[in-house]
Amino acid sequence: MAADSDSHKDRVPEHVAIIMDGNGRWANARGLSRLEGHSKGVKSVLNTIEAAAELGVKYLTLYTFSTENWNRPDSEVSGLMDLLVSSIEFYTPDMMKKGVKLKFIGDRQSLSEKVNKSMKQIEAETANNSVVTVMPAVNYGSRLEIVQAVKNIAEKVVDSELNINDICEEHISRALYTAGIPDPDLLIRTSGEMRLSNFLLWQLSYAELYVTDVYWPDFTKDEFRKAINSFCKRSRRFGGV
């Protein structure tokens, strides 16, 4: 199913970023554990990937685990990591069948060998797929990303590979985890929260925002289409008139 009007087809966003919020509150409202909420949220991820592919979205960035999420209880953190690994293993054949390419972004140094191995494996297996590129942000924090980018650029200046007066926005973009990927056109946030939560601060400079009160486990294909249709009806001026 495409956007509402055929005239909107050419305006479908190339890159959609999503802050998948509300798993815990969804679970609490049903007397379930937070991990059960996260597990239900995996289904929403799969539905969203499928809907993105159907609509022609080429890039989908999903805020999966932030650098701040380490502050959660150890049981929840370990459960989330186990869920990530088991989901990768279970759904790899489905990702292959649907032509999904997986590319994880974030700081991998703090992740376990098991998690890193699982991520590398599905990245390798799906590397040649081209229907839609899905980028789960794992152990991701935008401020950390920008700091690391600045350090990389500074090293080039010190090594005389780059003149400090030549540094421009493109140098920073190329030093980010998302290098080579177009900036998001649309940011979706579920659960009604009105903040960016340290997510893609550089890349979201001109993204359209769409916030829904729906908790992530209840985010369906139809909810995704609503967000896309809202985007298609907007006029993007990028500071112009």
Instruction: Respond yes or no: is residue 21 known to be catalytic.
Output: yes
Angle at 42 between CA 90 and CA 104, to 5 degrees: 75
Closest CA to 80 of 37, 21, 135: 37
Amino acid at 1: M
Catalytic residue (choose from 69, 129, 152, 198)? 69
Find out whether 16 and 57 touch, Cβ atoms under 8 Å. Answer: yes
Helix, strand or coil for residue 99?
coil
Verify whether residue 107 is a known catalytic residue.
Answer: no
Q: Which two tokens stand for residue 227?
A: 């967000």
Rounded to whole angstroms, the Cα distance separating 216 from 43 reads 10
Look up residue 182 and give its amino acid: P
Nearest residue to 137 (alpha-carbon basis) of 50, 234, 61, 48: 61
Query: E strands within 38-189?
Result: 59-66, 100-102, 132-140, 186-189
Name the active-site residue from 4, 6, 10, 21: 21
82 token code pair: 């186990």
Please list the active-site residues: 21, 69
